[in-house]
Structures are given as C-alpha cells and as structure tokens.
Amino acid sequence: MRRYFGTDGVRGTVNTPPMTAEFALALGRAAGHVLTRHLSHQPQILIGKDTRLSGYMIESALCAGLTAQGMNVLLVGPIPTPAVAYLTRSLRADAGVMLSASHNPAGDNGIKFFAADGFKLPDEIELEIEACIDALPPLPSALEIGKAARVDDARGRYIEFLKSSMPRGMRLDGFKVVIDSANGAAYDVAPRLLRELGCDVISLHDEPDGYNINRECGSTYPEAMTRRVVESGADIGLALDGDADRLIACDANGRIVDGDRVIAILAEHAHRSGALTGNGVVTTLMSNMGLERYLNNMGLTMHRAAVGDRYVLEMMRDKGCNIGGEQSGHMILLDHNTTGDGLMTGLQLLSAMSEQNKPLSDMAENMTLFPQKLWNVVMSERKDVLADTQVQKLIGDAESRLGDNGRINVRMSGTEPKLRIMIEAEDEGLMLDIGEPLTETICERYGNK
C-alpha cells in the first residue's frame, strides 16, 4: 500500500501534510539513504522545479535532506519536467527530482523522482523510500555529507536537445506560432526554442510571479491561445501546462487539437515513413473510440492502458510502441524522451506540417470523434465510491444502455479527491441522458455539500 507516492510522485497542498518543509526534509533523507546504499561512489542527484512560490521552500528542504544523507545535488532552477528527465541522463546523475504539481493551482506542489535512465523510479524503490521515511537511518559523519551546486546552462542544453529531435537541418521559417507557457516552467525555454528555429512567435503567459502558474492559462484554459491564433492569423497554437509535460494545440481556425488528435497525426505520419514501432500506439481508457476506429482503418492497433503516464509508458515498453499518450495532451515519444514532453510534441507537429506541407486542420480531417463528456464529483476526501453497490448498479445500467455504440469509464482521480465519470456515445443525446442523472445521483451521495 502506498502512503505518500501516487501515480505521479508525492503531491498535495503546500503546508498541509505531506507537502510540508518537514516532510520534504525527511523525504530527502530517506531517498538519499535508499539511492546511495547500492552505489560505490558518492551519488549525484539533480533537482528542477516549476515557477510556484513554494518551490524555493521545498527545494531547500529536500536539498538539505539529500545532502545530509551524503548525496551531491545539482540545482537547475525553473525548467520543464521533461528537461529534468533528459538532464538526469545527460549529466550522468544517479537520479533526478522535479518539484511541480503539473496543471494544479499555485497552492499545490509535488515531488517526482526519476531514475538515472530518465524513466520514473520503479515502484519497489518508491515503496522502499516510503518505508524509510518513518524510520530514518542514522546520519553519516560530519565530513561525509554532500554538497550542492547550480547548473547555469541547463535551459540551453535542453533547447539543443529538443532541436536535435528534428530532421537534420530543418528550420521552421514561415510558421507563425502562438505559444502559451502557462506562467510555468517553460516561460523562457518555449519562446526561445521556437525563435531559434525561425518561427514568428507570439508568446503568452510568460511572466511567472510564483502565484499565477496555470491561472486561467495554458493547456487547461486554452481559450486565450485560440483567440490569439485567430486574431493574429497564426498557423498553430501551442498551450503547455505548468511543468510543460503536456500540450494542447489548436489549428489556424482556433479548433482545439487534443491528445487524441495529436496521436492520430503523429502515428499516421510515423506510419507513412516507416518510423512507427509496435504497429500501433498506446492510449488510455479515456481516449475516444473515434481514434480507435481511425487507427484500425490504417491497420494499426490502439492499446488502452490505465489512466496515468506511468501506465502508458509501461504498456508502451511492453508492446514495443514508440508513440503513446493521453487525451489530456500528455504525450510520450520514446524515440526522443523518456517521459511526456509538451515542447517535443509541439516540434513533432510542426515537423509533420512542414514535411507534408499541410495545415494542421487537414492532418486528421478524416477522424470523427464520438461525442464525449467528463463529469467530476468533487469530494472533501477520497472515498471508495466504486465499492458502493448502488453506484455499481447505476454504472451497470448505463453500460447496458450504451451497448456497443459507446462506453463509460468511472474512476477516482490519481491526484485529487474527485470521482471522474467519462461517457461517450455515437448519439450525443443518449450520452447526456445517461451522464447527467448518473452524476447527479453520485454527487448527492458523495459530493461536497
């Protein structure tokens, strides 16, 4: 049983357990002990963060715990989560840490670990760290502690890494791009990258102040991006979340291109060039049935994993697929990086547009998505709603009504006390007739009063 680590590290509201300075210090000591005891050299760990005010506090406390336990720490400052995964490998660190709560509000924060290979820590290591938190080991002697140093060129290294993912010599001159950095970790990297490649860049929400990350901007609020694209006559809009590991795009008409459409575009482009591996892609239980039919018509398979990039990645490695992702815009392109990377995804979209000489609006025009809606039941605390026999009956009745012409997925959020109800059907009226009363009934029983 996990006590602290969820599907995406430790996450919570700042100054509320477990997201406190005291916990970060203990976590640093526990992680330092677990990560060092199997190594013959003094280990090195890299820490990055997004632009939340609490990043300073948590970074300092975590760094203190890690160095106290004998680890050397490399501090790279505000930088996207996928940059931490890349730099951990590039700088030959023994592990990496990202301090971010992704698309959550500024009052939340999180601590996510990467192994030396840039992939997330294995479950067994996370569980070992958890067990160590409650029984901290003895501290090493005074002269065996670690030291901390800052890496000044981390952003430049990451920009060069991103550019290396494109076909050799390719530039993006002539493209007009609106980029929304969500006042987050990519506020500097994203517009710099696109300008270096020759784009005409309109940069939105690139002035973080510690409080405004994800505030009515970025991938969860793409309206500002779509408006600016239409007003400015841009070719594409790219909206990142707070730690830049996910992307929501829009075409020149302001039409949203979500993760399902991005998968369709990138999979078809890779399939045409013979670069797609595993003869398919990996998505999640939330991905639209329209995407599945679209891929099947190309002779490709769509594998569905549980929701969460951890599970998408596990299935990608199991099935030998190099493209996978979530409808929310969290895309994993294993040929290029070991975790979701919003800027990498945006570059691959622009590369496909350039190579095919097509606007984004034409690149998945034959894919028809089923009407789909997501309802959220907000609770004061996590509850085992799905064990309720009445809820089970309601879900079973809904599945019977949908038959083969739709589907329903009900699950607890992995990061928040929310029950998520997703329904899709070929007939939008049927979808709403099922979803509205189901959500209302569950909300009456379990929702915040």
Residues with Cβ < 8 Å from 212, sequence gap 6 or more? 106, 183, 205
Tell me the Cα Rg of the chain: 22
What angle separates helix 55-68 from helix 21-36, to the nearest 10 degrees? 40
Query: What does the alpha-carbon distance between residue 376 and residue 419 come to, in Å, rounded to a whole number?
Result: 6
- Does 164 participate in catalysis according to the annotation? no
253: alpha, beta or left, given left = phi > 0 and alpha = psi -120 to 50?
alpha
Residue 28, phi-psi category: left (phi > 0), alpha (psi -120 to 50), beta (remainder): alpha
Q: Where are the alpha helices (DSSP H) in 287-374?
A: 289-297, 309-319, 342-356
Burial letters 378-403, b for 16+ CB under 10 A, else e: ebeeeeebeeeeebeebbeebeeebe
What are the backbone dihedrals phi and psi of residue 21, each rounded to the nearest 5 degrees, phi first? -65, -40
Which of these is catalytic: 54, 60, 90, 102?
102
Ramachandran region of residue 182, left (φ > 0), alpha (ψ -120 to 50) or beta? Answer: left
Strand 200-204 versus strand 236-240 pairing type: unpaired
Task: Please give the positions annotated as active site.
Answer: 102
